[in-house]
Structure 1
Amino acid sequence: MGDQDAPHEWIGFGFLHRHFLWLLIGAYAAAAIAPGAGCWLANLTETGHVGGYSVRISAPALMLASLLFAAGFAVRGDHLRGVFRSPLPLAAGLFASVAVPVLVLMAVAPVLLLWHDPVEARDLLVGLAVVAAMSVAGSSAGWSRAADGDCALSLGLVLLFTALSPLTTPRSFGTVGALAPSDAGEVLNHLAGAGGASAFVVLWVVFPTGLGLICRWVIGGNRADAAGPHVKQVTSVILLVLCYANASTCLPRVVVDPDWDFLALIAAAAVVMCATAFSTGFLTAKFVRADPARRAALVFGVGMANNGAGLALAAGALAGCPLALLPVVAVNLTQHLIAGYADARLRKV
């Protein structure tokens, strides 16, 4: 490759990945300072009908679907065939990803009864429950790949959890809701049942992921791989826009009238949630005696939740809990910070 092509390659394919954390911080800053376009996007909705059912179609949900379509489109056949070659790490990682966040919230829920503002306590718990109920983040595979992780195990965790999420998501909401204070419990039980969490996951998470897998099979792996860098670039931009749009609905009020003790509580809760998840990934790898490649896959797979889905779900279903987006935003930023630390630690092991 000539020198003239190097700047284009750096800007087109490397810049977004290398500077994603700073771009994410910039998106949140833009949401706080200039939320107009983000609020317009977040409120861009239409009601349609699928199979006789009324379906709320929104710009954030469509952006989420495009991200999951791209995730399915990027799955290589050899990685997919290798998913079940390591059943113990896969099963252990899946169990940890499903159970540990819910167990953490079950321990935290009674403690929040002591908080002086019940509305803040409700919205914090509901936001954290949304994070806990989400599937493994597709970005975990990218972090794992950068750390020389096992791609088959990484993708197996993402795909298997995604496939099971219509069952696991409402059950997670119901489990936490059963032990939550009354207001939060009512919201979470509603999400688990008539609130549409299961339908949301099927329509906007499972279906586009499967469609991406099918499209890759139709056009062929070589063509899909050739398009991969361009698709990755576009999806990185879409993810930043999704974060900006959803954060625009909650961050401006924080800037105008900051509640410092509540913000400190949110930050502490996000750190505890993310640190526990990543620590569980390390412990799971130790439990199954994983080699370095599988250890990296488990650390990022267990440690990172699909907060793009969480933001889209919260924006559409939690209008009555206006502060519930704040914990999702905080966890989204915190998990990328801790992922950077985990990446550095894995390279030293």
Structure 2
Amino acid sequence: MINLVVGAVQRRLLALMIVCYLLAAVAPRPGEALRAMALGPGGPVTAPMILLAVMLSTAGLGIRVRDLRAVVGRPLRLASGVAMNALLPVVLLPVAAMCLRAWPDSAEVECLAVGLLLVLAMPIAGGAASWGQNAGGNVPLVVAMVVGSTLLSPVTVPWGLTVSAALVGPGGAGTLDDTARLDRLAGTAGAGAFALALIVLPSLAGILARAMLGERRAARIAPVVKLVNIVNILLLCYLNASGALGQALSPPDPDFLALAVGVAGAVCCLSFLVGRWMSRWTRCDTPDGISLTFATGMNNTSAAAVLATSWFAHRPQVLVPILAYSLLQKLAASLFGTQPPARPAALS
């Protein structure tokens, strides 16, 4: 019964996320109240942070150590996916910044740039494994890419923020007028600590819990874990969007919304195309190519949204491109999953 429910919800996950966004726009007060709750006097732990940690720990429960061992002997594939995902903000953000220079409202452009920067700096999304599996990809490879990207995130996230902010700051493309907050975020007390505490440790806890449970017990509780994870994802969508969408839509600004959706969609498609190009350049076979495409194209937008609500609460419009990217990423994954790269030759 639970398997049927999980399957039905997974098929409608994109539509349910849209419903959560609409609910956040028209009824944001419950979400705002939950977001305002904080635990711990030294460093407040918010509800979105807890939900993000739960989401990543349940995702870790789905990772089998034997899948990771199967990829150790092919480090080139693994390294190329992790490296390209980490380089995305440096590769794509300056292009987006140059295209946005003609937009008349510099404040809106800065919100777009910061939102896209936070998304592109995040590690590979755990959902890349399920999307890659549905498209016929090499599941152990994409799982290893997710784990590798996650473990390196305390280093790659601050690095991506620092380098990208410099590229699109006053000395670069000129989109960001003030990079001081991003510089503080990239410091040791900001993005690195965030990645370690809310991305790496929960993921490792889930992997360790599966190893301790054993495959039989893990398989037995897998449907319940998936259902909890889906509910957690939808609740996190609502909390991240509550308040932000209401403020961004009051008064309505259709030009900014159209720009945010258009730019987020373009950057999202470019990230998938970069992954596909990498798979052809490295002469991947079809399963490996699919895995590389999804690993490069999918970033952890939930983590980006939680980071945005923590550090850019004074600019709710920063969340708009992140929320748009989260939806469009899944749409792009469904489109790219139907057109796998056709390179029969594989590296030995």
Task: Tell me, yes or no, whether TM beats 0.5.
Answer: yes
- The aligned residue for residue 263 of structure 1 is 257
> How much does 1:279 deviate?
0.6
Q: Does 1:250 align with 2:244?
A: yes
**Moved >6 Å (runs of 4+):** none
The change in CA–CA distance for 1:254 and 1:318 in structure 2 (over 3 A counts) is closer
Distance 2:164 2:276 in 1: 25
Distance 2:342 2:28 in 1: 41
Q: Does 1:309 align with 2:309?
A: no
Q: Does 1:106 align with 2:94?
A: yes
Distance 1:194 1:164 in 2: 14
Distance 1:347 1:44 in 2: 47
- Cα distance per residue 1:141-162 (max 9 Å; x no partner): 1111112211111111110010
The DSSP-based 3-state class of the residue aligned with 1:256 is: coil
Distance 1:345 1:279 in 2: 12
Q: Does 1:15 align with 2:3?
A: no
Distance 2:101 2:181 in 1: 16
TM-score, normalization by structure 1: 0.91
Give the aligned residue type for 1:33.
Answer: V
Comparing both structures, which one devotes a greater share of its residues to helix? 1
Q: Does 1:275 align with 2:263?
A: no
- The aligned residue for residue 129 of structure 1 is 117
- The aligned residue for residue 45 of structure 1 is 38
> How much does 1:83 deviate?
2.8
Q: Is the 8 A contact 1:162 1:205 kept in 2?
A: yes
Distance 1:286 1:315 in 2: 38
The change in CA–CA distance for 1:347 and 1:232 in structure 2 (over 3 A counts) is farther
The DSSP-based 3-state class of the residue aligned with 1:320 is: coil
Identity of aligned residues (%): 35
- Cα distance per residue 1:154-205 (max 9 Å; x no partner): 1111100100000010111111111324534223212112661111111010
Aligned positions of 1:26-37 closer than 5 A: 26-37=19-30
Q: Does 1:193 align with 2:181?
A: no
The DSSP-based 3-state class of the residue aligned with 1:137 is: coil
Aligned positions of 1:51-62 closer than 5 A: 54-62=42-50
- Cα distance per residue 1:123-157 (max 9 Å; x no partner): 11111110011000001111111122111111111
- The aligned residue for residue 51 of structure 1 is none
Distance 1:106 1:194 in 2: 25
May I ask how many residue pairs the two structures share in their alignment?
337
Gaps of 5+ in 2: 344-348
- Cα distance per residue 1:113-132 (max 9 Å; x no partner): 44322221211111111001
Distance 2:290 2:49 in 1: 30
Give the aligned residue type for 2:259.
Answer: L
Give me the CA root mean square deviation: 1.9
The DSSP-based 3-state class of the residue aligned with 1:75 is: coil
- The aligned residue for residue 288 of structure 1 is 282
Give the aligned residue type for 2:271.
Answer: A
The DSSP-based 3-state class of the residue aligned with 2:299 is: coil
* 1:220 aligns with one of 214, 219, 226: 214
* 2:162 aligns with one of 174, 186, 197: 174
